[in-house]
């Protein structure tokens, strides 16, 4: 059972809530999938049951088709944020990383039919989350960078400065529709470089120059 954790390993005394996710928040990623550049944040959600730990192992059900990784900066909500919150970033208590796992072939089929994405994006184990770094003063207003490696090859590099919609804009847009409660997370979108995972892959995520988080991929066919 997934539980939010601090980078120290201590469990965070917050419930595990929903994940509000942002699609196409980097121009190069939208272009690599031949998607239009959005004029407003594209929002979708994963339920709490989709969340799992990034490491030591993540499991993919290969019978569902090819799983693509999408590395993202993740915000942990510490206090309620709603449409009346004047400074929403002040209510974020943690910053981490995650993989938004996507059944790409199924997602493409659903998009072509004009259907919702949930079965391709919100399935069990589709949100692999690292431990969180406590937010310090001004952390979220400065540029943050992150990296993702697959089998020692650097695949993705994200910079918050390259986001189409910055973190404050995302929180304000989200809370026009969905109140964010303590324990909810926001997955802020992925940069270019997404691709398929394979059984046995060795994965690494790093926020800035900080600790590197490791995981490996276990494949199964149900």
Between strands 19-23 and 42-46, the pairing is antiparallel
The pLDDT tens digits for 129-160 are 999 999 988 899 899 999 999 999 999 999 99
Helix (H, G, I), strand (E, B) or coil at 84: coil
Determine, yes or no, domain membership for 6. no
- Write out the residue range of the structural domain in which residue 205 sits: 19-220
- Does some domain include residue 5? no
Residue 171: inside a domain: yes
Q: Does 74 fall in a domain?
A: yes
Q: Residue 4: inside a domain, yes or no?
A: no
The residue among 194 and 27 whose pLDDT is bigger is 194
Whole-number pLDDT of residue 30: 66
Please indicate, yes or no, if residue 53 is contained in any of the structural domains.
Answer: yes
Q: At a CB cut-off of 8 Å and minimum separation 6, what does 25 contact? A: 41, 42, 163, 164, 165, 170, 188, 189, 190
Average predicted confidence (pLDDT) for the chain: 94
* CA 218 – CA 173 distance, rounded (Å): 36
pLDDT class for 121, splitting at 50, 70, 90?
A: very high
Cβ–Cβ < 8 Å for 199, 215: no
- For the chain, how many structural domains are there in total? 1
Residue 3 lies in a domain: no
What global pTM score does this model have? 0.95
- Are residues 200 and 208 in contact, defined by beta-carbon separation less than 8 angstroms? no
Name the one residue in this structure whose structure tokens are 């952390």: 139
**Distance from C-alpha of 122 to C-alpha of 11, rounded to nearest angstrom:** 24
State residue 24's pLDDT score.
87
CA-CA distance, 1 to 52, in Å (whole number)?
Answer: 7
pLDDT higher for 24 or 135?
135
Q: How far is residue 210's CA from residue 119's CA, in Å, rounded to a whole number?
A: 34
Q: How far separated are the first and last CA of the chain, in Å rounded?
A: 20
CA–CA gap between residue 104 and residue 176 (Å, rounded):
29
Q: Does 222 have pLDDT greater than 70?
A: no
User: Tens of pLDDT along 73-98?
Assistant: 999 999 999 999 999 999 999 999 99
Residue 115 placed within a domain: yes
Cα distance between residue 11 and residue 98, in whole Å: 17
What mean pLDDT do residues 161-171 have?
Answer: 95
- Residue 180 is part of a domain; what is its CATH number? 3.90.850.10
């Amino acid at each position: 059972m997934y539980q939010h954790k601090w980078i120290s390993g201590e469990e965070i005394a917050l419930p595990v809530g929903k994940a509000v996710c942002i699609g196409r928040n980097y121009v190069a990623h939208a272009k690599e999938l031949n998607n239009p550049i959005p004029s407003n944040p594209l929002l979708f959600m994963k339920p709490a049951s989709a969340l799992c730990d990034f490491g030591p192992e993540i499991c993919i059900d290969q019978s569902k088709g090819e799983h693509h990784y999408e590395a993202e900066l993740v915000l942990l909500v510490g206090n309620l944020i709603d449409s009346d919150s004047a400074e929403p970033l002040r209510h974020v208590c943690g910053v981490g990383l995650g993989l938004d796992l996507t059944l790409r072939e199924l997602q493409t089929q659903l998009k072509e039919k004009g259907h919702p994405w949930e079965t391709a994006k919100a399935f069990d184990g589709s949100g692999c989350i690292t431990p969180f770094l406590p937010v310090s003063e001004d952390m979220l207003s400065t540029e943050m960078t992150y990296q993702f490696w697959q089998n020692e090859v650097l695949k993705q590099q994200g910079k918050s400065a390259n986001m189409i919609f910055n973190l404050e804009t995302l929180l304000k847009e989200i809370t026009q529709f969905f109140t964010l409660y303590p324990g909810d997370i926001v997955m802020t979108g992925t940069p270019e470089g997404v691709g398929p995972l394979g059984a046995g892959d060795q994965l690494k995520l790093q926020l800035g120059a900080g600790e590197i988080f490791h995981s490996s991929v276990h494949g199964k066919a149900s």
